[in-house]
Amino acid sequence: MLQYYAHLRQSSQYINLPTAEIPKPGDELAPISPELARWIRLRAQDLKLRQSDRQWAVDLVNHLRESLLVFLKNSDEQPYFQSASVLSSGSYYEMVKILNPNEFDMMLKLQSPSRLKMTELDQYHGLFYEVALSRSTRSHIRSFLLDDGLTISASKIINEMHRLVRKFISTYRVPGNSWRWVVNRKRPNSPAVTLSLLEVDNGKQELLSVDVVPALEVPSSQGWPLAARAGPDVDNWLGKKTRRSLTHQTCFFVPKKPPGRNLSEAAKESWRISFSHIEKELIKTHGNKRTCCETSATKCCRKQCFKLLKCLIEGLKQRYPQELDALCSYHGKTAFLHTLSIRAQDSLWTPRQLPACFMHLLRALEGHASSGLLPHFFVPTSNLFAPPTFPRKALVFLIQALEEQRRQGLPLLMPPAPAPPLAVHSHSDSQPQLSPVVQQTPVIQYPVILPPQVVEMKSFEQMFKIVALVMVLVYVCYLL
DNA sequence: TTTTTTCGCTAAGTGGT
DNA sequence: AACCACTTAGCGAAAAA
């Protein structure tokens, strides 16, 4: 870690140096216009989930989860998955999901019968591993081993997971029978089996999606791999004691190949290390003092800043889908965690300072992009902005896009316009006027998931179908 | 002993003053 | 705008089967 930051310090473009983090009151507030600050506050308010949407989504997702667990437990043909349990992860369960509760993540914990031999794949700096049992076993995991009887096959696990979920879904019925889950086509580099919730009759629009990711749990007797021992750098932020309690927890491996073609034999069966459960805990216990966010007097704006950054990243990805294909929410999360660990004091994150804090976070991401250095928070030797994962071209584009956003008053952060018909009606009172700068800029259309009954009433597609049907009928009558 | 149910705590959204 | 009481969801620990 130390030598890592020494490296970063040499880069003059890298603005977010630890040494530059001595708080200077007022320093950050200066460049933000009151109008932009107002906008940022309003947008942060807007991003939170509505309880009515949550209620509907959570019932469906929880029912799905419980039913899947029961199915796996009773699935005699695949005993290895019988003991699996769920660890909810991802932004919904970190309480940083924005706009709509429409994406859920669950890790399906799979236990390892013995200690694991974790071999770093060359060239990937501790993010991707070959994972093998340290001794042969009679456990049910043995149907997922390669010919050597030790190495655990990532592709066998993900394929079986996919098969099991498909089998489960073939008999599963959503309570109420108005919707159905479909299993998405397997994506070659994804560790997840993705389920989409569709309406039964008008099955085009995805209402919810759930990612199920098998996750191999490293036995707790075994520490983290060497590359992860250097991170996470939270001593100044959360204290040495908390760091110890974090690093004593287990870590996981998810079946994911490194990017690119012509992979070596080992890389084809490789696993990526995962700290989703620790990330969740970090975001939950984000305060420098234990009292952070306990009362209204000690509230902070850290999560709000992160939500705003997520919103901007999603906006950028929608505006420039090809150019920023490599960009993902994990880049935002990583930049956020680094910023929290450097800018540790609770007093720097009071709700009053929300606009300034968000701009600081945005500058931090810009800094990481400019320097081309975004170390994985737990595996600092792995740079998330390094090619081939993040091509040079995309990085240059990102730097320009971020700078442009900041100069133009964050047009992509602002609510989409024109808003969908219903949203205009229900929000017209609270919707702020667009600033001139924003109006000039092409504004993206966010996918808006409306509650099901609203979709039924308002589905243009359905109306379109009806109109088409009527036209066909008229034509038939004319022929007769 | 093991599994299931209940309980208490926390975070966050809601609506009223 | 700020505060308050109230509700819901998630989660781990305690209690019960």
The domain spans of chain A are: 1-30+287-414, 49-285, 421-471
Average pLDDT score, chain A:
83
Nucleotide with smallest C1' distance to residue A55 CA: C8
Q: Say which residue the tokens 């133009």 belong to.
A: A408
* Predicted pLDDT at A92: 98
Contacts of A30 (CB under 8 A, 6+ apart): none
Q: Model confidence at A302, in pLDDT bands (50, 70, 90)?
A: very high
- Mode of pairing for the β-strands spanning A116-120 and A128-133: antiparallel
Please indicate whether residue A170 or residue A449 has the higher confidence score (pLDDT). Answer: A170
Q: Please state the length of chain A.
A: 480
- Check whether A427 has a pLDDT greater than 80: no
**Nearest Cα residue to A214 out of A191, A182, A194:** A191
Strand C neighbours with CB under 7 A? A 51, 54-55, 58-59, 61-62, 88, 92-93, 280, 296
Q: What share of chain A in percent tops pLDDT 90?
A: 71
**pLDDT tens, A435-447?**
323 333 333 333 3
The residue whose CA lies nearest the C1' of nucleotide B10 is A294
From the list A248, A212, A213, the residue with the least C-alpha distance to A229 is A248
pLDDT-based confidence at A464, cuts 50/70/90? Answer: very low
From the CA of A442 to the C1' of B4: give the distance in Å: 55
**Is the CATH number of domain A1-30+287-414 3.90.100.10?**
no
Q: Lowest mean pLDDT: which of A14-23, A28-37, A229-238, A392-401?
A: A14-23
* Residue-wise pLDDT tens digits, A307-330: 999 999 999 999 999 999 999 999
Range in A157-166, A424-433, A465-474 with the lowest mean pLDDT: A424-433
Q: What is the mean pLDDT of residues A7-32?
A: 39
Q: What are the backbone angles phi and psi of residue A337, rounded to the nearest 5°?
A: -60, -40
Using an 8 Å Cβ cutoff, are A177 and A200 in contact? yes
Asked whether residue A317's C-beta has any atom of DNA/RNA strand B within 7 A, the reply is no
Arithmetic mean of pLDDT, A35-41: 92
| Statement: residue A99 has pLDDT above 80 | yes
**Which residue reads 């997520």 in tokens?**
A310
Residue (of A297, A290, A284, A406) closest to A351 by Cα position: A297
pLDDT of residue A14: 32
Structure confidence at residue A19 as a pLDDT band (50, 70, 90): very low
Q: Measured from the CB, is A424 under 7 Å from any atom of strand B?
A: no
Phi and psi for A117 in degrees, rounded to 5?
-100, 115
The residue behind tokens 């914990």 is A109
The percentage of residues in chain A with a pLDDT greater than 70, rounded to a whole number, is 80
Mean pLDDT of the region A259-282: 93
Q: What was the pLDDT predicted at A166?
A: 97
List the one residue out of A467, A374, A361 whose CA is nearest residue A405: A361
Q: Taking a C-beta distance cutoff of 8 angstroms, is the pair A291, A298 a contact? A: yes
Which of A's residues 79-118 have CB atoms within 7 A of nucleic strand B?
Answer: 95
| Mean pLDDT value across residues A90-102 | 97
State, as a whole number of angstroms, the distance between the CA of A215 and the C1' of C8. 30
Mean pLDDT, rounded, for A22-51: 77
Q: Give residue A468's pLDDT.
A: 55
Segment among A218-227, A305-314, A365-374 with least mean pLDDT: A218-227
- Residues 51-70 of A, Cβ under 7 A from nucleic strand B: 51-52
- Say which CATH class A49-285 falls into: alpha beta
* pLDDT at residue A414 in the model: 81
Q: Using the CB atom, is residue A295 less than 7 Å from strand B?
A: no
Query: Which bases on strand C have an atom closer than 7 Å to a protein beta carbon?
Result: 3-4, 8-11
A282 CA to B8 C1' in angstroms comes to 23
Give dist(CA A473, CA A81) in Å, integer.
53
- Span CA (A57) to C1' (B8), Å: 25
The pLDDT of residue A4 is above 50: no
The yes-or-no verdict on residue A129 having pLDDT over 50 is yes
The mean per-residue pLDDT over the stretch A456-460 comes to: 35
Residue A307: which nucleotide is closest by CA–C1'? Answer: B12
**What is the C-alpha to C-alpha distance for residues A347 and A284, in angstroms, rounded to an integer?**
18
- The full 3-state SS of chain A, as one line of letters, equals CHHHHHHHHHCCCCCCCHHHHCCCCCCCCCCCCHHHHHHHHHHHHHCCCCHHHHHHHHHHHHHHHHHHHHHHHCCCCCHHHHHCEEEEECCCCCCCCCCCCCEEEEEEEEECCCCEEEEECCCCCCCEEEEEECCCCCCHHHHHECCCCCEECHHHHHHHHHHHHHHHHHHCCCCCCCEEEEECCCCCCCCCEEEEEEECCCCCCCCEEEEEEEEEECCCCCCCCHHHHCCCCCHHHHCHHHHHHHHCCCCEEECCCCCCCCCCHHHHCCEEEECHHHHHHHHHCCCCCCCCCCCHHHCCCHHHHHHHHHHHHHHHHHHCCCCCCCCCHHHHHHHHHHHHHHCCCHHHHCHHHHHHHHHHHHHHHHHHHHHCCCECCCCCCCECCCCCCCCHHHHHHHHHHHHHHHHCCCHHHCCCCCCCHHHHHHHCCCCCCCCHHHHHCCCCCCCCCCCHHHHHHHCHHHHHHHHHHHHHHHHHHHHC
A301: left (phi over 0), alpha (psi -120 to 50) or beta: alpha
Q: How far apart are CA A350 and CA A150, in angstroms?
A: 52
Residues 258-287 of A with CB under 7 A from strand B: 284
Say which nucleotide is closest to residue A48, CA to C1' distance: B13
Residue A203's pLDDT band (cuts 50, 70, 90): confident
Q: Which residue is nearest to nucleotide C3 (CA to C1')?
A: A296
CA of A319 to C1' of C1 (A): 35
Residue A87 CA distance to nucleotide C12 C1' (Å): 13
Please, which pLDDT band fits residue A297 given cuts at 50, 70 and 90?
A: confident
Instruction: Report CA(A260)–C1'(C8) in Å, whole number.
Output: 45
